[in-house]
């Protein structure tokens, strides 16, 4: 019985979104601009030369960039041997839940709540609830911020006062950073868990626990992040597959993104290296007829938001090298789909996600282009490959 592996390269967009200007993102192209910077010799830290992604490119990655945006991607010029195309999102967001839910067949039917880019960013009654739940008399932050910047700036005051650091971004999120040892990891996770229902009622997408360790001048976030996401509004690909009596595996953030619905087994790791180790193991061991749904977040968190072009390129090249060994583990009849949930162009202004189309390249189902499709068609196609009935508006491209 066929297996399927749906692999999301978090933020690895390819430009061309027809509504990008409505989000302030006209011209953004994560992959296209990284390739151009590499070819121009402007991404030489820890690597050198044109962007080299031979395994993904031969599946159709470079062709998908050209299809999505019309942009050339120097170094990504292989003749595609995989089944490939690009996908356009309809949900009114450029965030993690919107992208993943829609890839899994369920567009977001509401408008998310976003906090204003002002100080203070949060309403007084919400701040009061955080204080009540945490047992403190105040919070730090109360603003839009980068997660690494704000712990550098406010970490020492957090250690002195015991107040949690609360911040947001251009996404629909409420993030709380706290020291794992001084504030307590379990206390931080409980705070976010208990606050999440109130945020979800406001249509705020996620409460995120952002633990860190260290001393002033050397704070570092740990791998114990927890996301408490609002539940998808309808059954997703994970529910369809599990409801058909099949096994589902969630690698990385997938469990958090889908509120742990439709998931048989959860596989977490401290970084993308550990997550790819899980994917390799599942490539060899996952049950017949199963779905493995994986997210690799470090493109986004470590390099996109930090606008680190060379780092993003290094991560892409590391990932591509592991793709070759992973594909060699698959069995005849298996499907592997590599895609993304949004963009985060490291050459673009600001530090936030960018509205882009995403590449969709497939191994194991022949060759040829399926053109421009919707995010929802990815979920419908995976379901079709597994012989599982799909719900929702998606149409299979297989």
CA atoms within 13 A on the CB side of 94: 27
- Residue numbers in the chain where pLDDT is lower than 70: none
Query: 272, 306, 310: which is closest to 33 by C-alpha?
Result: 310
pLDDT tens profile 221-243: 998 999 998 999 999 999 999 99
Domain membership of residue 115 (yes or no) is no
Domain count, the chain: 2
Query: What is the per-residue pLDDT for 170?
Result: 80
CATH number at residue 185: 3.30.70.1250
Query: 306, 323, 381: which is closest to 149 by C-alpha?
Result: 306
Among candidate residues 182, 198, 229, the one where a domain is terminated: 229
The tokens for 103 are: 């890839």
| Residue 81: domain span | 4-109+233-386
User: Residue holding tokens 């027809």?
Assistant: 18
Query: 338, 386, 376, 321: which is closest to 88 by C-alpha?
Result: 376
Query: What is the per-residue pLDDT for 173?
Result: 95
φ and ψ of 357, to 5 deg: -70, 165
Domain membership of residue 117 (yes or no) is no
CATH number at residue 343: 3.40.720.10
Which ranges of the chain does DSSP label H, i.e. alpha helix?
Answer: 30-39, 54-59, 61-69, 96-103, 124-134, 147-161, 185-201, 237-243, 254-257, 272-285, 298, 309-329, 375-386
Task: Tell me: do 84 and 200 sit in the same domain.
Answer: no
Q: 305 among the known binding-site residues? A: yes
Task: Tell me: do 144 and 245 sit in the same domain.
Answer: no
Burial state string for 5-17 with b = 16 or more CB within 10 A and e = fewer than 16: bbbbbbbbbbbbb
Give the distance between the most distant pair of CA atoms in the chain.
Answer: 61
Among candidate residues 206, 229, 252, the one where a domain is terminated: 229
Among candidate residues 229, 252, 276, the one where a domain is terminated: 229
Task: Tell me: do 43 and 64 sit in the same domain.
Answer: yes
Q: 10 among the known binding-site residues? A: yes
Domain membership of residue 116 (yes or no) is no
Domain membership of residue 394 (yes or no) is no
Query: What is the per-residue pLDDT for 223?
Result: 86
Query: What is the per-residue pLDDT for 171?
Result: 85
Query: What is the per-residue pLDDT for 274?
Result: 97
Domain membership of residue 397 (yes or no) is no
| Phi-psi label, residue 383: left if phi above 0, alpha if psi -120 to 50, beta otherwise | alpha
Q: 267 among the known binding-site residues? A: no
Query: 304, 255, 274, 227: which is closest to 12 by C-alpha?
Result: 304
Task: Tell me: do 105 and 251 sit in the same domain.
Answer: yes
Task: Tell me: do 83 and 155 sit in the same domain.
Answer: no
């Amino acid at each position: 019985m066929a297996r399927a592996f749906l692999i999301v390269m978090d933020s690895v967009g390819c430009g061309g979104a027809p509504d990008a200007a409505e989000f302030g993102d006209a011209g953004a192209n994560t992959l296209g601009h990284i390739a151009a910077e590499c070819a121009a010799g402007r991404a030489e830290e820890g690597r050198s030369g044109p962007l080299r992604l031979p395994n993904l490119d031969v599946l159709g990655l470079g062709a998908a960039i050209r299809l999505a945006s019309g942009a050339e991607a120097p170094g990504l010029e292989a003749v595609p041997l995989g089944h490939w195309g690009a996908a356009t999102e309809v949900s009114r967001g450029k965030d993690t839940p919107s992208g993943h839910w829609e890839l899994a067949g369920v567009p977001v039917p509401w408008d998310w709540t976003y906090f204003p880019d002002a100080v203070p960013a949060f309403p007084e009654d919400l701040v009061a609830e955080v204080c009540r739940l945490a047992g403190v008399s105040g919070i730090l932050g109360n603003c839009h911020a980068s997660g690494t910047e704000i712990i550098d700036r406010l970490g020492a005051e957090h250690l002195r006062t015991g107040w949690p650091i609360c911040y947001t971004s251009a996404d629909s999120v409420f993030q709380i950073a706290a020291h794992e040892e001084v504030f307590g990891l379990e206390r931080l996770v409980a705070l976010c868990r208990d606050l999440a229902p109130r945020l979800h009622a406001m249509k705020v997408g996620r409460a995120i626990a952002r633990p860190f360790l260290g001393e002033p001048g050397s704070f570092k976030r740990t791998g114990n992040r927890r996301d408490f996401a609002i539940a998808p509004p309808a059954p997703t690909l994970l529910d369809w597959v599990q409801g058909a009596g099949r096994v589902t595996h969630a690698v990385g953030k997938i469990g958090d993104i889908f509120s742990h619905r439709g998931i048989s087994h959860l596989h977490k790791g401290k970084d993308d290296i550990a997550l790819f180790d899980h994917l390799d193991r599942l490539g060899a061991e996952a049950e017949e007829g199963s779905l493995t749904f994986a997210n690799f977040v470090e493109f986004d968190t470590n390099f996109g938001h930090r606008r680190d072009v060379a780092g993003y390129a290094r991560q892409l090249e590391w990932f591509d090298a592991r793709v070759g060994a992973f594909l060699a583990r698959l069995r005849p009849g298996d499907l592997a789909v590599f895609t993304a949930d949004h963009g985060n162009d490291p050459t673009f202004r600001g530090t936030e996600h960018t509205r882009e189309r995403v590449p969709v390249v497939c191994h194991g189902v022949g060759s040829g282009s399926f053109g421009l499709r919707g995010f929802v068609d990815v979920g419908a196609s995976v379901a079709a490959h597994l012989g599982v009935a799909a719900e929702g508006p998606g149409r299979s491209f297989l």
